[in-house]
Amino acid sequence: MAVRAVRGAVQLERDEAGHMDEQVGALLTAVLERNSLGVDDLISIWFTATPDLHSDFPAAAARKLGIVDVPLICAQELDIEGAMPRVVRILAHIESDRPRAEISHVYLGAAAALRKDIAQ
């Protein structure tokens, strides 16, 4: 079994904890489903949020999905002028037999514009 990395992002419509839970939960669910993963396949997840998001930790959404024994960490994204606002990004480390080229990176909604080269 190989260690792989899966990327993803979602842009929030507003900075509210419930909305963040919903959107980050949808992102994590899509990553798991599109890569045929279960919680036991997760090694760790890094979350970043743009500096305009203050309502909650993105990792809280993962805990609410039942991802309770996987190391999670949150960090602030760089504050770059002109960058897309209200974005949560993830970098999940997983165990998978899939070749690197078959990993599905997930960019939901407007966040698909961030990585048109790998967004599925």
Place 118 in a pLDDT band, splitting at 50, 70 and 90.
low
**Residue 17 scores a pLDDT above 90:** yes
Q: Which CATH class is domain 2-115?
A: alpha beta
Q: How many Cβ atoms from other residues are within 10 Å of residue 102's Cβ?
A: 10
pLDDT at 120: 55
Instruction: Report, as an integer, the average pLDDT of 107-114.
Output: 91
Instruction: Report, as an integer, the average pLDDT of 25-50.
Output: 98
Instruction: Report, as an integer, the average pLDDT of 41-46.
Output: 98
pLDDT at 104: 95
89 is in an annotated binding site: yes
Q: What does each C-alpha distance from 59 to 14, 25, 36, 94, 117 come to in angstroms?
A: 17, 9, 21, 16, 26
7 is in an annotated binding site: yes
107 is in an annotated binding site: yes
Instruction: Report, as an integer, the average pLDDT of 13-29.
Output: 98
